[in-house]
Structures are given as structure tokens and as C-alpha cells.
Amino acid sequence: MPKPKDWISAMRLRTLPLAASTVLAGAASAFNYGTFNWFTFALILLTTLFLQILSNLANDLGDAIKGTDDGNRLGPVRSIQSGAISKTEMKRMTILFAVISFLLGIAAIYSAFEAVNWQPMLFVMIGLAAIAAAIKYTLGKNPYGYSGLGDVFVFLFFGLIGVAGTDYLLSGVFHWSAILPAYTVGAFSTAVLNLNNLRDHKNDKLHGKNTLVVKLGLEKAKQFHFFLIVSGMTSLAVFLYLSPIVLWFALPVFLIPTTLGRHLNQVKQTKNEQLLDPELKKVALTAFGTFLALFIFQLISAYELF
């Protein structure tokens, strides 16, 4: 029987800060328009975190079923791969987190809307699509993660839909400006997936997991990664410049030549795919730190705390 530490390991909690960036970015955008509901914010954040864990569990199960997780994999040992959790136990936990994610999503939608009309129903459909996307990455007969579409779904659900949707639920209005931080979070989330696939591209190719890296080849995938990071920071710079808090426009200027500059050089120069694993944390924590700082600064400004 799996121990609590086995489930904690399977949930891959290190991925949660990047998922939280989606909600923080949407909330920071909503602050610009003077409307904010803390209870709704908490429900959206919990829903997003549970969706990320659901995705991690389903990914562990899907890759184990298809035999992708074996001794040749360079990333951290998965829970089913190590024998700590059986496939049946993982399936049950995946179903449980799918149900919890759905219920939390319904609660967030109910908290955001006073009346039942087309808007909450649209968000219910988006929520169901997000749950399906979390599960279908590696599970099922035709998992999209094995067809090179993982990057598209990550960009959409953890970027455009996640950030703009959070902004809408908190403010009650769609703002075109929210697309800018949404693009940044989507680009960074896709960059993390791209790094993961760069690290595992040899083993993925061997097992028929045709990720975008496998399709593009190593060098083009590195160029794609460069594009994601640079375009993501550029989009954030534009958003900060257009924001009432112009001071934060300076943030990307300091981040690009330091943390992310060294990161891009490391990705470009490395020949050992295993050395890419620490780079995932750099991108994820940079995104989380950036939007957490922006969220706090917007909070201070909105409530005139200083």
C-alpha cells in the first residue's frame, strides 16, 4: 500500500508554482480594473493546482501503461515506474482528483456569477475541457502528448484560457490586455514542457512518443525554446508598460540578461540532456516569482497599503 510520501512524490509538487502563475497573472490583470473577490480567487487557485496534480497523476499512469517510463528515462523516477504505486491505485487517485477539480471549478464559477446564463455555462464547458486535456495528455487510445500537440494544449489552458479566464471570473469583463500576461505564462509553461521533452527526446522517440522535440529535432527545438522565452518576456514588458504601474516595465530588463540569459545559454551549449533537468526549475520559478511579485505590487497599490 502506498505511503503518503509516495503520493506526494507522484503529485510532483514542484510543478505547482508554475501552475499558480496562471492564476496570479490573471489576478494581477484584474487588479487593474478595481474589482477583486478573494473567495473566488482562492477557489480558482485551488482548481488550477488540483488540475495540475491531476495532469501529473494521469501522465504517470499514461506513460507507465505505454511503457515509456523505463530505465532509459533521464527525468525523476515516476511512482508507477518505481513500484511505489500500482496502476490500479493511480487510476483511482486520478479519478478522485478529476472529481475534486470539477467540484472546485463549479464552486469558483458559482462564486463569480450571480445568475445562471450562458457565461457560467461556457466556463463549465471550459472546465470540463481542461479536465479532459489534463487526462488525455498521455492516457487513452490517441493521447495528444504522443502526437506533438502537448505544447499547444499547455499554451492554451495554462496560458491564454487560464489567465484570461481568471481575469474574467474576478473582474466580470473580458480585457484584451489580459492576453499579454496570458501569452507570457503560456510561453513559459510551454518552455518548461519543451525542456522536459528535450531532456527525454531519445527515450520518447524510442517509444513512439512523438513530441514536438522529436518532430523538430534537437537544434530546432532549442531555437523554439529561445523564441518562447524571449517572446514571453517581450509580451510581459508590453503589459507592464501599458499597466498603470509603469515602474514594473523595468523588471524584464533585469531578468533577461541575468537568470534567463544564463538559462538560454545553458540550453544552447549543453550536450548532455540530463543537465537540462535543473533548467526546468529556473524557468518555472522565474515565472512564479515574476507574477507573484506583480500580484503583490498590484495588491499594495489597489489597497494603498503603503
How far, in Å, CA of 278 to CA of 9, rounded?
17
- DSSP annotation string for 163-215: HHHHHHHHHSS--GGGHHHHHHHHHHHHHHHHHHHHHTHHHHHHTT---HHHH
CATH 1.10.1060, domain 4-303, yes or no: no
pLDDT of residue 254: 60
Task: Please report the pLDDT score of residue 252 as a whole number.
Answer: 55
| DSSP-derived secondary structure letter, 156 | I
Q: How many residues does the chain have?
A: 306
Please give the Cα distance from 248 to 242 (Å, whole number): 10
Mean pLDDT, each 10-residue run in order, the chain (306 residues): 84 91 93 81 96 92 73 63 84 95 96 81 94 89 87 94 94 89 95 90 83 91 94 88 62 62 85 82 89 83 62
Q: Which of 185, 186, 194, 231 is nearest to 212 (CA)?
A: 194
The pLDDT score that the predictor gives to residue 43 is 97
Q: Secondary structure of 73-102 in the HEC alphabet?
A: CCCCCCHHHHCCCCHHHHHHHHHHHHHHHH
Q: What is the pLDDT of residue 41?
A: 95
